[in-house]
């Protein structure tokens, strides 16, 4: 299955993707993680993306579309993939339709007032990409990744001023994708405000897994 996870920044896409990887046996592709890795390695892509990401703006379509095409052309995506954070604009969705057949777009519905607490409590491992939350999903040792032992970080774009800007961008540019996939009969929506396990159950039922 080729699945898209839609939802506001901080809605829980990456957290749900980590669960669905096991359940579906396909990889997840997070454009945000690819870009953060590029920044960490100071590549030309990373240098181009950094200014946009730090300001909570979208990286230009042509940059992320090229990056996504290269990633899903890799062997591990042959039997399906989970997209987390792509597409984020209508031009990205149109470009995706030209290179892959999407089975479902699953939207995690979480209101803005819940998102703020999710993002300010988020801690990430820049080494392995694992995501935690200080209350909802704390690491065993504070600020240390359970998986690889690296130190956890607060993302620069998870500070409140930037979060508000990212939410506005989401409503303006990404939310219209619900109508885009709805018109194709591919949209499914679940309540993303409940706990992590409950969200996993809602997703499992919606996807018929």
Give the interface with ligand ADP as residue ranges (CB under 6 A).
7, 9-15, 84, 118, 121-122, 131-133, 136-137, 192, 195-196, 199
Contact 199, 192 (CB under 8 A): yes
**104 is a site residue for ligand AMP (CB under 6 A):** no
85 near ligand AMP (CB under 6 A): yes
Helix/strand/coil for 205: helix
What does the block give as tokens for 38? Answer: 């590029």
155 catalytic? Reply is: yes
**Cα distances (angstroms) measured from residue 162 to each of 55, 120, 148, 165, 188:** 6, 11, 28, 5, 29
Among 31, 107, 131, 199, binds ligand AMP (CB under 6 A): 31
Burial class (CB in 10 A: 0-12, 13-18, 19+), 172: exposed
Which is closer to ligand AMP, CB of 157 or CB of 200? 157
Contact call for residues 56 and 10 (beta carbons, < 8 A): no
User: Which of these segments, 57-65, 69-77, 108-116, 191-199, binds ligand AMP (CB under 6 A)?
Assistant: 57-65
Q: Which residues bind ligand AMP (CB under 6 A)?
A: 9, 31-32, 35, 52-53, 56-59, 64, 85-86, 88, 92, 157, 166
Catalytic residue numbers read: 13, 88, 122, 155, 166
């Amino acid at each position: 299955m080729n699945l898209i996870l839609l939802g506001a920044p901080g809605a829980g896409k990456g957290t749900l993707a980590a669960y669905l990887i096991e359940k579906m046996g396909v990889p997840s592709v997070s454009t945000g993680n690819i870009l953060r890795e590029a920044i960490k390695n100071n590549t030309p892509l990373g240098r181009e993306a950094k200014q946009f990401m730090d300001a909570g703006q979208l990286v230009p379509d042509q940059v992320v579309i090229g990056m996504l095409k290269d990633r899903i052309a890799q062997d591990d995506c042959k039997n399906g993939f989970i997209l987390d954070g792509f597409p984020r604009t209508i031009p990205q969705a149109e470009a995706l339709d030209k290179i892959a057949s999407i089975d479902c777009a699953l939207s995690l519905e979480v209101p803005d007032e819940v998102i703020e607490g999710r993002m300010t409590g988020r801690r990430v491992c820049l080494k392995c990409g694992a995501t935690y939350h200080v209350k909802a999903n704390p690491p065993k040792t504070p600020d240390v990744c359970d998986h690889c032992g690296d130190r956890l970080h607060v993302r620069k774009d998870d500070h409140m001023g930037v979060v508000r800007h990212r939410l506005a961008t989401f409503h303006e540019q990404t939310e219209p994708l619900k109508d885009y996939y709805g018109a194709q009969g591919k949209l499914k929506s679940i309540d993303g405000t409940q706990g992590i396990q409950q969200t996993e159950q809602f997703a499992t039922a919606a996807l018929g897994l």
